[in-house]
């Protein structure tokens, strides 16, 4: 006898399948279903209703509402990973972060969703994951990889008879074709998508297809046709799509010789982008206005908007991607860049030709290492996600080169908070690879072996580093490793365990700075390593502030006599600012470092971690 199906589940699934239609109505109906599930205390129904509400609000660009309901559903799905909703939550969360421009976090979520869909043999979710992975590779300008995933997703959706999903895949293939300047192919896919969406009344999705068609015509310089479709796309309900259509129409009006209408539309799109907090679109609006004022001969306004564009774009590009990609991805990116440099070095060509090739390849190498840097930053933990840390910490993190040998790490194990500040041998690419090893080994030691005594953690870390680097103590052997300070904070017992390898710990209490000394041995091969790292047990009081750091700040040359800053100055400065809020301390330390450094080059990676008990 088959199990009885709960009507709430049926309604949730019907609403989920309707999410691309009238999103506002779907959200309203899903809220009603949520109330029914809550009234009957049905956890599964509550989770799926919240997921559908989150999706429907995302399609209306209401990301704050979407995130609220998504987080409420996510806990249940994390404990029920065999449910189709688990993959759906990963995909939707990735959608939201992709809209914020946080591509590394997005890629992690979508790869996880893709792998989960394969394990569950969840073909619908596999098709959606392919569609999303294609999008992230598109964002990274890897068009061949993007097409591979989009076309795979399209085949899955067509086989399932999922017309609405197929329309989404068609739309995105059209988008890639447009970037590859295959305009006829692009329009063919876009119009196929439009036909399906109009037939199935996908009111929320139709404007996105219209935007793609308009953008293709604009790229072809068919401005009259482009304007027609931009105007149609402006009638949609999604604010992000609407503002892009408004922005596009402004650009086209400028090309068609209607400056008043062009300025009106571009300024309107800028206002909408600011209201949405979509900084990438704000930058795009600035760029459109700069180009417009150039065309009108208004050099002052053109220059002003160009400056705003570059400043905003730099801000968007330099935002830390808050996620953790796999070690293999950074290793691959860095290895690839190193191989490319060696290939270019060995090329034997005419001097001028060699110069041109090297100049072009250096751009690619830098881009590759920049990507490696984003991945490295993504692997660093997100302290905001550690319970009890909000507003009680700061991290001053300033790599000398694009990638860094300094790293920080946090983990909560029961009532204990483990905090680490590490300084690996060297900086740049070698240091970055060592930092990735350090993070991986710490996660293994604490999370899987359950070791939480500070000295024993460092003992195990040294063993792992020695084994990984195959250090045997031979004469010509490299002594690569790391210096580190590690604290295990137990607020319930009001104690801190501290262990260090060369890097000391400062604690400020009642306007007094106390210094706890690290062992004078590294996390690496060492002559006297049979003596393990010491565990210092320290009693703490409320409002104590702990400071951990690498040597980069104190060793920086600068000041009136171009000398090192030194630890004595650092102690004095910390005492002078320790009463300020933690983020204000971060700001003051950054300003002090830049002021001291002046025009001197930064000589090493810089890391200071502050924690308020």
CATH number where 257 lies: 1.25.40.10
> Tokens 């920049």 identify what position?
370
Confidence of residue 334 (pLDDT cuts 50, 70, 90): very low
Q: Do residues 289 and 332 share a domain?
A: no
Same-domain check for residues 441 and 523: yes
Which helix (H) or strand (E) is 171 found in, with range? helix 163-179
Judge if 405 and 348 occupy the same domain: no
Beginning with the edge strand found earlier in the chain, give each strand of the sheet holding 393-398 in spatial order.
Answer: 393-398, 606-612, 545-549, 505-509, 512-516
Residue 202 to residues 27, 186, 552: CA-CA distances in angstroms?
A: 15, 20, 56
The whole domain housing 284 covers: 238-314
Q: Say yes or no to pLDDT of 346 above 80.
A: no
- How many domains does one find in the chain? 4
Residue that terminates a domain, selected from 262, 280, 314: 314
Residues in a beta bridge with 601: none
Judged against a pLDDT cut of 80, whether residue 387 lies above it is answered with: no
Lowest mean pLDDT among 192-201, 228-237, 245-254, 501-510: 228-237
Distance, CA of 277 to CA of 268 (rounded, Å): 14
- Whether the predicted pLDDT of 599 surpasses 50: yes
Query: Cα dist. 605→25, 277, 440, 478, 594 in Å?
Result: 53, 32, 20, 21, 13
Q: Is pLDDT of 190 > 90? A: yes
Domain boundary among 75, 92, 123: 75
Domain membership of residue 249 (yes or no) is: yes
Q: What's this model's pTM, rounded to 2 decimal places? A: 0.44
User: Any long-range contacts for 297-304 (C-beta under 8 Å, 24+ apart)?
Assistant: none
Query: Using CB atoms within 10 A of its CB, is residue 575 exposed (0-12), middle (13-18) or buried (19+)?
Result: middle
Q: Are residues 248 and 397 in the same domain?
A: no
Q: Please give the pLDDT value at position 371.
A: 59
- Residue 145 covered by a domain: no
Chain mean pLDDT for the chain: 83
- The values of phi and psi at residue 500, to 5°, are -145, 155
Residue 274: its pLDDT value, please? 87
Q: What residue has token string 């991805």? A: 329
What is the per-residue pLDDT across 491-506, written as a single tens digit (0 to 9) for each?
A: 889 999 999 999 999 9
Residue among 198, 211, 117, 214 nearest 163 (CA)? 198
For the stretch 509-553, pLDDT in tens is 999 999 999 999 888 877 665 678 999 999 999 889 999 999 999
Answer yes or no: do 430 and 348 share one domain. no
- Tally: H helices and E strands in the chain: 22, 12
216 assigned to some structural domain: no
Any domain includes 532: yes
> Torsions phi, psi of 153, nearest 5?
-65, -40
Band (pLDDT 50/70/90 cuts) for residue 349 is very low
Considering the domain architecture, whether residues 269 and 353 belong to the same structural domain is answered as no
Whether residue 229 is predicted with pLDDT greater than 80 in this model: the reply is yes
Residue 355: its pLDDT value, please?
A: 58
Whether 229 is covered by a domain: the verdict is: no
Q: What is the pLDDT of residues 2-35, one digit of tens each?
A: 456 789 999 988 998 888 778 889 899 999 999 9
Mean pLDDT confidence for 363-371: 62
∠ CA 456-458-463 to the nearest 5 degrees? 95
Query: Residue 99's pLDDT band (boundaries 50, 70, 90)?
Result: confident
Residue predicted with more confidence, 120 or 393: 393
Comparing C-alpha atoms, which of 337, 491, 322, 330 is closest to residue 415? 491
The percentage of residues in the chain with a pLDDT greater than 70, rounded to a whole number, is 85
Domain membership of residue 41 (yes or no) is yes
State the distance between the two ends of the chain, measured CA to CA, in whole angstroms: 58
Same domain, 390 and 477: yes
- 391 Ramachandran zone, left/alpha/beta (phi>0; psi -120 to 50): left
- Residue burial 211-240, b: 16+ Cβ < 10 Å; e: rest: bbbbbbbbebeebebbbbbbbbbbebebbb
Q: Is the domain of 298 the same as that of 339?
A: no
502: phi > 0 → left, psi -120 to 50 → alpha, else beta; which?
left
Beta partners for residue 441, in sequence order: none
Structure tokens at 467: 């084994």
DSSP-assigned states of every residue in 388-413: T-TTSEEEEEE-SSSS-SEEEEEEEE
148 lies in a domain? no
Which of residues 42 and 100 earns the better pLDDT score? 42
Using 50, 70 and 90 to split pLDDT, how confident is the model at 96?
A: confident
360 and 258 housed in the same domain: no
CATH number for the domain spanning 425: value is 3.60.40.10
336 and 402 belong to one structural domain: no
- Runs of H (alpha helix) within 444-499: 454-468
Residue 518 and residue 493 share a domain: yes
Predicted local distance difference test score (pLDDT) of residue 162:
87
| Least confident span in 333-347, 376-390, 493-507 | 333-347
Tell whether 260 is covered by a domain. yes
Total count of residues recorded for the chain = 613
Angle made by CA atoms 248, 253, 254, in degrees to the nearest 5: 100
Q: What is the pLDDT of residue 93?
A: 86
**What six digits make up the tokens of 233?**
């796309």
pLDDT tier at 354, thresholds 50, 70, 90: low
Question: Looking at the structure, do residues 398 and 541 belong to the same domain, yes or no?
Answer: yes
Contact 453, 535 (CB under 8 A): yes
In 3D space, the residue among 447, 402, 449, 440 whose CA is nearest the CA of residue 422 turns out to be 440
Identify the pLDDT of residue 246.
92
User: What is the side-by-side order of every strand in the sheet holding 416-424?
Assistant: 406-413, 416-424, 482-490, 495-501, 536-539
In this predicted structure, the answer to whether residue 368 has a pLDDT above a threshold of 70 is no
**CA–CA distance from 240 to each of 55, 64, 347, 402, 426 (Å)?**
15, 14, 47, 33, 44
Average pLDDT of the residues in 599-612: 93
**Domain boundary residue, one of 27, 46, 75:** 75
- Pick the more confident residue, 160 or 323: 160
Distance between CA atoms of residues 353 and 355, nearest Å: 5
């Amino acid at each position: 006898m088959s199990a009885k199906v709960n009507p709430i589940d049926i309604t949730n699934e019907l609403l989920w399948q309707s999410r691309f239609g009238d999103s506002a109505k779907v959200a309203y109906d899903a809220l009603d279903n949520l109330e029914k599930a809550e009234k009957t205390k049905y956890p599964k129904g509550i989770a799926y209703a919240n997921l559908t509400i989150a999706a429907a609000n995302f399609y209306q660009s209401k990301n704050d509402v979407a995130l609220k309901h998504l987080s409420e559903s996510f806990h249940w799905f994390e404990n029920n990973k065999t449910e189709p909703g688990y993959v759906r939550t990963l995909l939707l969360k990735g959608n939201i972060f992709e809209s914020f421009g946080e591509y590394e976090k997005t890629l992690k979520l979508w790869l996880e969703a893709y792998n989960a869909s394969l394990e569950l043999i969840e073909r619908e979710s596999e098709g959606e994951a392919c569609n999303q992975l294609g999008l992230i590779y598109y964002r990274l300008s890897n068009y061949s990889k993007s097409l591979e995933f989009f076309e795979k997703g399209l085949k899955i959706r067509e086989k399932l008879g999922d017309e609405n999903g197929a329309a989404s895949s068609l739309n995105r293939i059209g988008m890639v074709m447009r970037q590859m300047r295959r305009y006829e192919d692009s329009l063919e896919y876009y119009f196929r998508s439009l036909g399906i969406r109009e037939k199935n009344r996908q009111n929320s999705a139709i404007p996105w297809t219209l935007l793609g068609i308009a953008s293709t015509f604009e790229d072809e310089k068919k401005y009259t046709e482009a304007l027609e479709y931009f105007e149609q796309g402006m009638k949609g309900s999604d604010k992000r799509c609407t503002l892009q259509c408004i922005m596009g129409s402004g650009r086209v009006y400028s090309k068609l010789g209607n400056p008043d209408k062009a300025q009106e539309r571009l300024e309107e799109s800028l206002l909408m982008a600011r209201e949405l907090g979509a900084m990438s679109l704000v930058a795009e609006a600035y760029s459109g206005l700069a180009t417009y004022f150039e065309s009108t001969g208004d050099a002052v306004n053109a220059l002003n908007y160009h400056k705003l564009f570059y400043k905003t774009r730099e801000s968007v590009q330099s935002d830390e991607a808050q996620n953790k990609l796999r070690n293999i991805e950074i290793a691959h990116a860095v290895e690839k860049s190193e191989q490319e440099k060696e290939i270019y070095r060995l090329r034997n060509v005419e001097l001028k030709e060699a110069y041109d090739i090297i100049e072009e390849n250096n751009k690619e190498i830098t881009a590759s290492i920049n990507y490696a840097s984003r991945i490295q930053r993504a692997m660093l933990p997100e302290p905001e996600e550690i319970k009890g840390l909000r507003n009680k910490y700061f991290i001053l993190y300033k790599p000398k080169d694009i990638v860094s040998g300094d790293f920080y790490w946090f983990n909560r194990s029961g009532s204990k908070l483990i905090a680490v500040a590490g300084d690996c041998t060297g900086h740049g690419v070698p240091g970055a690879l060592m930092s990735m090893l350090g993070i991986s080994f710490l996660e293994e030691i604490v999370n899987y072996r359950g070791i939480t005594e500070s000295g024993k953690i460092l003992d195990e870390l040294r063993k792992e580093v020695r084994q990984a680097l195959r250090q045997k103590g031979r004469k010509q052997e490299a002594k690569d490793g790391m210096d580190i300070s590690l604290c295990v904070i137990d607020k319930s017992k009001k104690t801190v365990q501290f262990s260090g390898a060369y890097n000391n710990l400062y604690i400020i209490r009642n306007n007094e700075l106390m210094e706890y000394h690290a062992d004078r041995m590294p996390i690496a091969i060492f002559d006297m390593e049979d003596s393990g790292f010491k565990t210092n047990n320290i009693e703490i009081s409320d409002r104590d502030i702990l400071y951990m750091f690498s040597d980069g700040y104190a060793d920086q040359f600068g000041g009136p006599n171009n000398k090192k800053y030194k630890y004595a100055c650092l102690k004095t400065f910390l005492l002078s600012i320790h009463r300020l809020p933690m983020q204000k301390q971060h700001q003051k330390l950054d300003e002090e470092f830049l002021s001291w450094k002046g025009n001197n080059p930064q000589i090493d990676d810089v890391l200071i971690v502050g924690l308020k008990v």
